[in-house]
Structure 1
Amino acid sequence: MRKLLLAFLGLLTLIVAFPSITLKFYQLINPPQIQSAGTIVKMYNHQTQKIESIPLEEYIVGVVAAEMPASFPVEALKAQSVAARTYIMQRILPGGVKNSRYSGADVSSDPRDGQAWISQEEMEKRWGKLKYLEYFYKIKWAVDSTSGQVINYKSQLIFPAFHASCGGSTENAEEVWVAALPYLKGVDCPYCTDPSPKKQVTYTLAEIDQKLKTNLSAIPVSTVKTNAIKITKETSTGRPKEIQFGNKEYPATLLREILKLRSTRISWNINDDKITFTTKGYGHGVGLCQYGAKGLAEHGKNYEEILKHYYTGVEISSMK
């Protein structure tokens, strides 16, 4: 009896002191299969072009694998798991958000329709056989550890917006979309760890004219540099909200789409007949910053602390 007690205490010490050992032990006793409590997601799969019925937790694993690098810390993956579950439960629960694009489906696998999803076969293809085992177990651990958990604001499921990197601070929802949401407020993001925060895209003035229906190429370059392009309105975090090109004004969110820019943290430089746009961050900048979540996790924050940092005034609760 004494030996059994000592063995148990030794295992408990290892689990507390070395979380990675806990993960390895979990991997040994859990084969790579995903269990579900019974909730089914009807997803339109863009690869098969069919509606597939997928157990909820299996669906969440596929979303996390598609939306966040598996190399990120487990606490960041947990945060992404809860956000992904909240998103889909909005579409499954009675009275929730309806999917109108694919009749009979709750959601699709295309990130342009909401959030991405990949199969286990695609995971193995992307990561290779050895990395697949490591990363699959890691993501499954994150999903299982948060099973049934969702994000609420005043007892209502939130819209869990997320993006890759914010460039230092997130944005208020109303600065990007029409509606203001009390839990989607801009916050500082001190540990945004995006390894390539700045990206540049260059266009000729003639190309800009073609894309934006302007006449910049007909204006002297000196005038273009000094007066033809300017920020006319900024957001509360200092991002451009509206930018004027000649006699036309564009929302920064629309410019990001038309010019294929990574974010709305936009600056530019004009040299001869070319304009180079420099952006910082990646995505719309609202809600959870994925690289910021990685940084917070690396600085000791758990997934609940991460979620409550990016979603103001929320609570994490269980559906069970």
Structure 2
Amino acid sequence: MKEPKVEVGILFEPQIEFILLAPYHVSGKEVNGKQTVTYNEGKILWNGRQYDELVFEPLQESVASFELLDVTIGINFHWERKEDQRFQGSLKIIVENGKLTGINVIRVEDYLTSVISSEMSATASLELLKAHAVISRSWLLANLSGLQTDKLQLPVGNDTMRNKNANQDNAANCQPSTADCQLKWYERDSHTHFDVCADDHCQRYQGITRASTDIVRQAIAATRGQVLISEGRICDARFSKCCGGAFEEFQYCWEDIKYPYLAKQRDYLTGNEKTAPELPDLTQESEADRWIRTSPEAFCNTTDKKILSQVLNNYDQETTDFYRWKVEYTQDELSALILKRSGIDYGQIIDLVPVARGTSGRLWKLKIVGTKKTLTIGKELEIRRTLSPSHLYSSAFVVDRAEVSEAGIPGRFILTGAGWGHGAGLCQIGAAVMGEQGYKYDEILLHYYIGASIDQLYD
């Protein structure tokens, strides 16, 4: 097969300003310089005329680029901000949800060069960068519905979670299903007019804004066309910042599907499986409590700034504790926060009760007990969103109540937690440590994606 192109949603605003830094053509015209497009009566207003769609294509793709102004990055995260970003390839403008959407159309390998530099530092080790190139390519190509090759048929249709809508509200695992339990999970396939977005919702993609290095380009070239395969399908290669010492399984974060390559395992190798420390059953509350309150040995249990700088860009390094962390709320802070984030008035919060945990100790069901209402919520991201102004680092936490009144109302809540992100698939910090310890990229990949193999889809 030939190298595909990917459409990446970058900007969603009533007005988009951009600068064409080389000659582009659109609707038979050659244009360059600063441009402004505005949403107007369901159309795109540009240079006094209305359009249903605009596509700015470079005259010379290899040397052309454009700059989008005021792109929001880190949407809903604690470090959310705006910046100007530069891209190669084409710029497509469409009308969507009462706004304009700016879409970058670019070749897969060029897209990956940016993703690797955006997701982590371009100074990371070669083996880590190669591993990340393979998983980013795998996740992307598994999302391009209908893509076929002479080697395999990619998952398309109702047999894959990719057809599920984002922000699903599914209470099938709650009894009763609506009265006292609400399960939601947030998928990455909510986009209907482009393939992926450019933020953490999919994969961080910031064009050529952050200068790529020779080692990034080397990692992309060395793994060109390579993807992870399991049971004849491209793997849904999830990844997160820090698993916290144990891998999470897919079904505890998203739809109730068990993928064999996203399975329970400790983030630790000794070279001898017989002597490797056994992973406790973290679905059991007593074991999870002990695990989270201690700091077990794991690849991702590191404070080495040199290693962390390979994975964490400047804004990520604003987060200092991630393997084990602590958050405290007063009663007033927590009750107000939960009301704001969920829209549900629980009254004063009496307790946060663990109901069900996954294989990494992450909660996928949490009961919120209030003076006005009691409700069990999940899955993991919904719990994290409800208990933080942005996103709690993870849902692998235990709760201590303090300053409890005679009426049983705590004055303070202390959340002690483990890890950063959902914990399924590759652990970026653990993989960085493995790279520093001399593991090759295929060894890193097959540690995190159990039983998978590496195949090449195109040259």
Give TM-score, length-normalised by structure 2: 0.53
1:233 is aligned to 356
Say if 2:397 is the partner of 1:287: no
What is the Cα deviation at residue 38 of structure 1? Answer: 4.3
Structure 2 residue aligned with 1:107: 196
Deviation of residue 269 (structure 1)? 3.0
Percentage of pairs with the same residue: 26
Cα drift, residue 252 of structure 1? 5.7
Match of residue 232, structure 2, among 131, 155, 175: 155
Equivalent in the alignment of 1:250: 377
2:287 aligned with 1:200: no
1:70 and 2:122 matched:
yes
Post-superposition CA distance 1:220-239 (Å, at most 9, x none)? xxxx5xxx333233323433
Letter matched to residue 191 of structure 2: R
How far off is 1:286 after superposition?
0.6
Q: CA deviation at 1:117?
A: 0.5
Is contact 2:247-2:359 (8 Å) kept? no
- State the alpha-carbon separation in 1 of the partners of residues 353 and 455 from structure 2: 46
Post-superposition offset of 1:40: 1.8
Alpha-carbon separation, structure 1, partners of 2:359 and 2:8:
37
2:203 is equivalent to residue 118 of structure 1: no
Pair 1:171-2:171 in alignment: no
Shift of 1:102: 4.6
Residue equivalent to 1:17: none
**Aligned residue for 2:441?**
303
Aligned equivalent of 2:399: 268
Where 2:213 maps in the other structure, the secondary structure is helix
Work out which structure has the larger RCO, using CA pairs closer than 8 Å and 6 or more positions apart in sequence: 1
Whichever residue aligns with residue 123 of structure 1, its letter is: R
Structure with more helix by fraction:
1
Query: Within 2, Cα distance between the matches of 1:109 and 1:233?
Result: 32
Go from structure 1 to structure 2 and tell me whether the alpha carbon gap of 1:175 and 1:137 turns closer, same or farther (over 3 Å shift). same
Quick one: which amino acid aligns to residue 429 of structure 2? Y
Aligned 8 A contact 2:362 2:394 in 1: no
Q: What does 1:179-194 align with in structure 2 at a 5 Å threshold?
A: 179-190=257-268, 191-194=299-302
Q: Would the alpha carbon gap of residues 52 and 243 (structure 1) be closer, same or farther in structure 2, given more than 3 Å must change?
A: closer
Matched position secondary structure for 1:229? strand
Separation (CA, whole Å) in 2 of partners of 1:230 and 1:44? 39
Q: How many residues align?
A: 262
Give the conservation status (yes or no) of the 8 Å contact 1:252–1:264.
Answer: no
Match of 2:14? none
- 8 Å CA contact retained: 1:262, 1:281: yes
Decide which moves more: 279-288 or 194-203.
194-203
Q: Work out whether residues 153 and 183 of structure 1, in 8 Å CA contact, stay in contact via their aligned partners in 2.
A: yes
Q: What pairs with 1:46-61 in structure 2 (closer than 5 Å)?
A: 46=11, 47=71, 49-61=101-113
Q: Could you say what secondary structure the match of 1:88 adopts?
A: helix
Whichever residue aligns with residue 348 of structure 2, its letter is L
Counterpart Cα distance in 1 of 2:10 and 2:360: 37
Unaligned regions of 5+ residues in structure 2, if any? 12-70, 72-84, 86-100, 149-153, 157-161, 164-188, 269-298, 304-320, 340-344, 404-410
Q: Contact 2:246–2:359 (CA<8 Å) still a contact in 1?
A: no
Q: How does 1:76-155 map to 2 (within 5 A)?
A: 76-92=128-144, 93-94=147-148, 96=156, 101-103=191-193, 105-112=194-201, 114-120=202-208, 122-124=209-211, 136-155=213-232
> Per-residue deviation at 1:51?
1.9
- Whole-Å Cα distance in 2 between the matches of residues 102 and 239 of structure 1? 30
Question: What residue in structure 1 maps to residue 457 of structure 2?
Answer: 319
Question: RMSD value over aligned CA atoms?
Answer: 2.3
